[in-house]
Chain A
Amino acid sequence: MPSWPEQPKYISHATTRVDAPAKVTGRARYSSDIQADGWLYGMILRSKWPAAKISEINLDKALQVPGIKAAVKARDGEFTVRFYGEELAAVCGTTKQACLDALRAIEVKAEPRREFVVREDDARKDGAPIVWDGQPNVSPGRSSEHGNVDQAFGECAAVIEGFYTTPIQIHHPMETHGSTVSWTDDGVTAWASTQAISAVRDNLAGALQLDHSQVRVLTEFMGGGFGSKLDNSLDSVLAARLSHEAKAPVRLMLTRFDNSLAVGNRPSSFQKIKIGALADGTLHAFEMENYGTSGISGGANIPAPYIYAVPNTRVKQSAVRVNAGPARAFRAPSHPQASYGMESAMDDLAAKLGVDPLEFRLKNDSNEVRQREYKIGAEKFGWKEKYQKPGSLPGVVKTGIGCAGAAWGAGGPSKRTQGEAQVNPDGSIEFRFGVQDIGTGTKTVIAVVAAEMLGLKPEQITVKVGDTNFPSGPGSGGSTTCASVSPTVFDICTKALEQLQTQSGITDARGDNWFAACKKLGVTPLTIHGQWIQGDPGRPLSSNPAYGVQFAEVAVDTETGLVTVKKIVAVHDCGLIVDTLTLESQINGGIIMGMGYALYEERVMDDLSGVVLNPNFETYKLSGIGDVPEIEITLLNMPERGVIGIGEPATVPTAAAIANAVANAIGARVGSLPITPAKVLAALGKVPPFTASKS
């Protein structure tokens, strides 16, 4: 039965990224770098009103701007916009400058609605402006009840109530959304910055009324997505339509401003949690009311009580609509919110019980993998030596520690993954997969697995991804790609060796025999098609879920409120580790993103104008290198579970661990992310109460 080799040479070791040379030299061409012959620059005009009826869009003057070759409206006829930044029209021209001038020449007849709402709490009030006519702003979400929670609270030795909130977080990949699209009589070619080439292909085909076979999507390199590039944006359709009219390829990339408004975000959460434990420290009752917004559409459910089993629970959730850009899946959707709320409540309850929060978790988290990880991590972190009761350390700058756990199931590997390889008589081999490498190292994973199976070196494997002409694979989401492609490579290699061995007469074509065996192909390369296979059910090639725990140590300046993360210790599992080097990068990345969520990131809406106030990196703050702490990672290699993904579990518990460390340091809870110096000072009681002035 197919299973991974017991003593792998490359798998589970460190292999450098196969596309590193292209990236460090600037040779790598992203969608924003494509310079197709005669290409034009494209740009989108967006609504400056949070809610308005658009009755007319006049492109005449825009078309007269020198250099402009085409202009299209986003929608025909009259329509309603419901958030600041919604698409109105697009232009293309020979220069960026021409496009800028053209956008300013578009005449829009709009009736702005005086009433709109951008804040969750405002949207929930009676008489609040309605986002969608005829529908209430608040709609029920996933709710549940188990046991008898009211009675159970009465039985608890300790109960705490807390209110924990998380903001809207924007994905902000370093490459914005967009694509270069060429629509000719032969069809459409789109170089898209996407996590899902098939979805882009299907969307373009549908919108432009073409056959799928007439649309080709290429994503050789793309600059990050984190979930926001799984969905389709209007921009690639607009680029295609412009290209058609202008009879030239159009490169239409969103600006950072656009990315702040209209291509997705992580929903907010407002979690009122009541949780109680029995005298022996066992969780006994849990009640949560949560609401959050996904902008104009979507839900805001979160799993509760997250990774903990509590016998008596009541969970009520609802989604609130506001006039703001809709949410999209964002790295571990709903889990960082759930982790933050639940793990904060756990620490607050532990404090009330007077117990060590790590011990409290070990008592209440039955998951064996996390139990192991907590113990390994605690020792590496020095938990026992470092732990002090909340706020008990003297001094102006107080250190504190916290921890939190994660789980990430997703859908497991995509079982419909396909791939192919062409084996050439000179021994060179090229793999082709219709998947994407969004920075996770997919190409390297393919090379490593292939090298292992064929007895070659990773640098001898050529890997091509990101072409809808290649055998299809999943969109890069859910932390499933590694688990999808690895068994597929296994299958391709198995078949390739079988065919080579048959054709060449060489019994084992791997390693030293590879080139001799290939030479016997004469002039005809082999093309091998393969697909995802499970392998030995007792020792599968891939599976799910993954877990993980993280520990954080912070220093909080109690006079200025500044939080400095000193150290993160992360213990993660992802089944069989394919490449320790790229895995470490993924975990670093998840942690650093989680830290940004904990301390810096927040989309700010202005309720008077309805605009996004921070549509830039100046005031939407990402973790910088000066903020990043020492990160120590322990990787649990579990070959018997097969390959499992890591991208999302790595970011789930970070904010919770940091928030708990802050609470431990100062002996007070900042129940709202991001934990800014302002909020720390307020939690310490140092901010004078505000009295409305006579303005």
Chain B
Amino acid sequence: MKAFEYATALSTDSARELVADNGAYLAGGNDLLGLLKEYLVPAPSILVNIKSVPNLDKIVRSENKWVIGALVTVGEIERDAEVAKVFPGLHDAAMEIASPQIRNVATVGGNLAQHSRCWYFRHRDTVCLKKGGDLCYARNSENRYHSLFTGNDCISPVVSSLATTFAALDATAIVLRDGKEILMSMAELYQKAWKEIPAHNSLNPGDLILRVRIPTLRSRSAYMQVSDKHAFDWALVSCAAAANVVDGKLSQPRVALGSISSVPHQVEAANQFLEGKPLDDATASQAADMILAGATPLEHNGYKVPMAHALIRRTLLKLKG
């Protein structure tokens, strides 16, 4: 890493001021330090530790919504018994993220804001399209981990499993931008990555994710992923589903896929199709077809289509409880 200054902020205002034009917020640090160690981003002149900013590290429960502070760690979510009861999908997503050591420091905000994991982006010596180069190497070379759906010439998918799960739960991120709190759905949080090559998400420099608000509207949720290994391995495909199930029929269903698009992939038509349908294999299979319609596999990632199809069916059926 290049040298940097360091300060601990005690408020969001001073954090913003300290970060100024080319500083970086330091929360868990896993993504940031990884980027700095490989010199992948313009070196920040200062790292601002935001872990002492008050009121960002609690889970606040109320009757029709939970609010999770952006500094709550993934480990805390995993260990929270009530989360496991009220949002089992969130629990299951959290427990599979990375490793215990990472979960103990990784924050909700950091997990959502993390940069691309494309191995060309992450490589110190390939200046790919996303880093301002001329070429998306992955498109014509090693693309086994890359997207089935793309909105621009960068084919690197969003890999945040919390984003996928929050998408299914219809959660909203509250982002502090220039002193004002703005709301973003998961779709909005990643929309810029869909549109613009260099973007990993819709955050501007200096933006700070404050909290995530999750309606308790859907009493059932589920999450599943498949990786090459059984643990501590990025998902090849992940799926989250949430709904109410009334008399065996789906109500307010939402299904999202991760690691196959630069945004958590949801198909509104599929959600609408599922509404009121019986929760069974045939329904799930049809929904999967609709969610995957229009997928454009690359040379080496076509396996993600049948894999995603299976995951969608299984995740939906898991809602049965």
Report if A and B touch in the complex (beta carbons < 8 A).
yes
Chain A binding site: helix, strand, loop or mixed by DSSP? loop
Task: Say yes or no: B228 contacts A687, CB within 8 Å.
Answer: no
Q: Chain B residues with Cβ under 8 A from A599's Cβ?
A: 228
* Nearest A-chain residue to B135, judged by Cβ: A608
Asked whether A562 lies within 8 Å of B226 as measured between CB atoms, the reply is: yes
Q: Are the CB atoms of B126 and A559 closer together than 8 Å? A: no
Task: From the candidates A101, A562, A619, A681, name the one contacting B119 in the complex (CB within 8 A).
Answer: A619
Q: Is the beta-carbon distance between B307 and A613 smaller than 8 angstroms?
A: no
A residues within 8 A CB of B139? 695
Q: Once the chains bind, are A690 and B302 in contact (CB under 8 Å)?
A: yes
A14 at the interface (CB under 8 A from B): no
Q: Which of A579-587, A621-629, A644-652 contacts B (4 or more CB under 8 A)?
A: A621-629
Whether B126 contacts A611 by the Cβ 8 Å rule is: yes
Which A residues are CB-close (under 8 A) to B124?
48
Q: Is B1 an interface residue (CB 8 A)?
A: yes
- CB < 8 Å neighbour of B303 from A97, A611, A681: A681
Q: How far is the CB of B162 from chain A (nearest CB, A)?
A: 19
A624-B236 contact in complex given A611-B123, A613-B120, C-beta closer than 8 Å: no
Q: Determine whether the beta carbon of B230 is less than 8 Å from that of A609.
A: no
Q: Which of B119, B303, B306 contacts A613 (CB 8 A)?
A: B119
Q: Which residue of B lies closest to A84 (CB)?
A: B125
* A606 and B231 in contact, given A559-B310, A690-B297 (Cβ under 8 angstroms): no
The answer to whether B306 touches A686, judged by C-beta atoms less than 8 angstroms apart, is: yes
Give every chain A residue within 8 A of B268 (Cβ-Cβ).
none
Nearest CB on A from B239, distance (A): 11
* Distance of A535 from chain B, by nearest CB (Å): 46
Interface-located stretch among B103-111, B140-148, B206-214, B240-248: B140-148
Q: Are A609 and B303 in contact (CB under 8 A)?
A: no
Residues of B within 8 A of A600 (CB): 228-229
A494 at the interface (CB under 8 A from B): no
Partner of A609, one of B125, B232, B306: B125
Q: A614: CB under 8 A from chain B?
A: yes
B266-305 residues at the A interface, CB under 8 angstroms: 296-303, 305
Contact partners of B3 in chain A: CB under 8 A: 97, 101
Assess the A608–B140 pair: CB atoms within 8 A. yes
**A393 near B: Cβ within 8 Å?**
no
Find chain B residues with CB under 8 A from A100 CB.
Answer: 1
* Contact pick for B231, options A561, A609, A624, A676, CB 8 Å: A624
Distance of A606 Cα from B119 Cα, bound (Å) = 10
Our pick among B117, B123, B144, B234 for the contact of A678 (Cβ within 8 Å) is: B144
Interface residues of A in 591-650 (CB under 8 A from B): 599-600, 604, 606-609, 611, 613-615, 618-619, 621, 623-627
**Chain A positions within 8 Å of B309 at CB level:** 559
Bound Cα distance from A627 to B228, whole angstroms:
10
Contact of A626 with B125 in the complex, beta carbons under 8 Å: no
Contact pick for B302, options A84, A623, A688, CB 8 Å:
A688
Taking CB atoms and an 8 Å cut-off, the chain B residues in 136-164 that contact chain A are 137, 139-142, 144, 153
- In the complex, the answer to whether B297 meets A606 with C-beta atoms within 8 Å is no
In the complex, A693 has a CB within 8 A of chain B: yes
Contact B303 A677 (CB under 8 A): yes
Whether a CB of chain A sits under 8 angstroms from the CB of B180 is: no
Which residues from chain B contact A608 at a C-beta distance below 8 Å?
135, 137, 140-141
Within residues 88 to 139 of chain B, which ones have a CB less than 8 A from any CB in chain A? 117, 119-120, 123-126, 135, 137, 139
Chain A neighbourhood of B1, CB < 8 A: 97, 100
B119 x A626 contact (CB < 8 A): no
Give the CA-CA distance A608 to B140 in the complex, in Å: 9
CA A608 to CA B3, docked complex, whole Å: 32
- Residue contact B297 to A609, C-beta cutoff 8 Å: no
Cβ-based interface call for A682 (8 A): yes
Contacts of B125 in A (CB 8 A): 48, 84, 609, 611
Q: How far is the CA of A689 from the CA of B300 in the complex (A)?
A: 10
Chain A neighbourhood of B167, CB < 8 A: none
Interface centre among B144, B226, B307, by most chain A C-beta atoms within 10 angstroms, is: B307
* List of B residues within 8 angstroms of A148 by Cβ: none
CB–CB B2/A677 < 8 A: no
CA distance A611 to B122 in the complex (A): 12
| Chain B residue contacts of A621, Cβ below 8 A | 228-229, 233
Decide if B311 is an interface residue (CB 8 Å cutoff). yes
Ranked nearest first, the 5 interchain pairs of A and B with the lowest CB-CB distance are A559-B310, A626-B231, A678-B303, A626-B230, A686-B306
Pairs across A and B, CB under 8 Å, 15 listed: A101-B3, A559-B307, A559-B310, A560-B307, A604-B142, A609-B125, A613-B123, A613-B142, A624-B233, A677-B236, A678-B144, A682-B303, A686-B303, A687-B303, A695-B153
Interface of A with B (CB < 8 Å)? 48, 84, 97, 100-101, 559-562, 564, 599-600, 604, 606-609, 611, 613-615, 618-619, 621, 623-627, 674, 676-678, 681-682, 686-690, 692-693, 695
Residues on B lying within 8 angstroms of A by beta carbon are 1-3, 117, 119-120, 123-126, 135, 137, 139-142, 144, 153, 226, 228-234, 236, 296-303, 305-307, 309-311
